[in-house]
């Protein structure tokens, strides 16, 4: 049995992670973590997610329950909660799965330093589809080359706080690698006003927010006379949660190191 602690237990992803864990035979939720002041603090995880009593406390400090767990899963907003959790995980020598997006470069650097000595899966998207799509985008960019303009469009619900999505950036970076470009140098985030003609090396990234869209991503390769589109649509958060739990199973047996979903799916 793999004992799991979920950071961000009160969020939508935290709830789905807990519910799917309850349906599995090899995963057990032993605690949840939320930010100080959250109404779930001091209650049982089962009560917070609307399930049976689990004898799994919800706390505001991971250090209070870290000894209970084998793997810590973190999907937190704001992202500093994940950075703080990673420090506790690293010191305790536990394993970690992180799906938090919107971290600054400084936060990512601190997080990676904290987990340097433990097994950790870090991914912007935990679906098998996007993991495979990332590889396809890189290969398509290599084949199509500079004759095709690349544009990435992502759509999410109106509650999402960071933009563009981590998945959009991952897909854009895959295209940049295939084209042998540095995304930081060629990314264009939306367009407004007299921006002039599109530069051939640009990779456009556009964010749409509205309603309850779980997550849609489209990567377009636009050439002369044709347009090729790669589309991935998420119909339920369970697609993310199932992948994260698959990562938890993987990382519970892995050697120390930083992994992504390609490692989990054996696509490296």
Look at residues 86, 104, 103 and name the one whose alpha carbon lies nearest to residue 95: 86
Domain residue ranges of the chain, discontinuous segments joined by +: 2-122+237-265, 128-234
Catalytic residue among 64, 112, 142, 160: 160
Tokens linked to 246: 């698959």
Catalytic residue among 38, 94, 156, 217: 156
For 152-161, what is each residue's pLDDT tens digit? Answer: 999 999 999 8
pLDDT the model gives residue 267? 82
The CATH homologous superfamily of the domain defined by 2-122+237-265: NAD(P)-binding Rossmann-like Domain (3.40.50.720)
Q: Write the CATH number of the domain with boundaries 128-234.
A: 3.30.360.10
For 165-191, what is each residue's pLDDT tens digit? Answer: 999 999 999 999 999 999 999 999 999
160 is catalytic: yes
pLDDT band at 218 (very low <50, low <70, confident <90, very high): very high
**DSSP character at residue 139:** H
The secondary element (H helix, E strand) that includes residue 183 is helix 183-186
Q: Is the pLDDT of residue 268 over 80?
A: no
């Amino acid at each position: 049995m793999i004992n799991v602690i979920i950071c961000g237990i009160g969020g939508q992803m935290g709830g789905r992670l807990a519910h799917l864990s309850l349906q599995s035979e090899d995963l057990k939720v032993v605690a949840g973590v939320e930010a100080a002041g959250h109404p779930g603090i001091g209650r049982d995880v089962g009560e917070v997610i609307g399930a049976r009593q689990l004898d799994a406390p919800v706390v505001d400090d991971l250090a209070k329950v870290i000894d209970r767990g084998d793997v810590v899963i973190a999907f937190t907003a704001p992202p500093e909660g994940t950075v703080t959790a990673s420090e506790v995980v690293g010191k305790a020598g536990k394993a970690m799965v992180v799906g938090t997006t919107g971290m600054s470069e400084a936060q990512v650097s601190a997080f990676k330093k904290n987990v340097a000595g433990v097994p950790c899966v870090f991914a912007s998207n935990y679906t098998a589809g996007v993991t495979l799509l990332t590889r396809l985008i890189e290969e398509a960019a290599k084949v199509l080359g500079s004759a095709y303009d690349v544009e990435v469009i992502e759509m999410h619900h109106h509650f999402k706080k960071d933009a563009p999505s981590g998945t959009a950036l991952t897909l854009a970076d895959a295209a940049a690698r295939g084209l042998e470009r540095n995304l930081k140098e060629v990314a264009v985030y939306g367009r407004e006003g007299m921006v002039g003609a599109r530069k051939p090396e640009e990779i456009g990234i556009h964010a749409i927010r509205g309603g309850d869209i779980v997550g849609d991503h489209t990567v377009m390769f636009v050439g002369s006379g044709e347009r090729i589109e790669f589309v991935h649509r998420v119909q339920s958060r369970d697609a993310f949660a199932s992948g994260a739990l698959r990562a938890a199973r993987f990382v519970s047996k892995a050697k120390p190191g930083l992994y992504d979903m390609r490692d989990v799916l054996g696509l490296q």
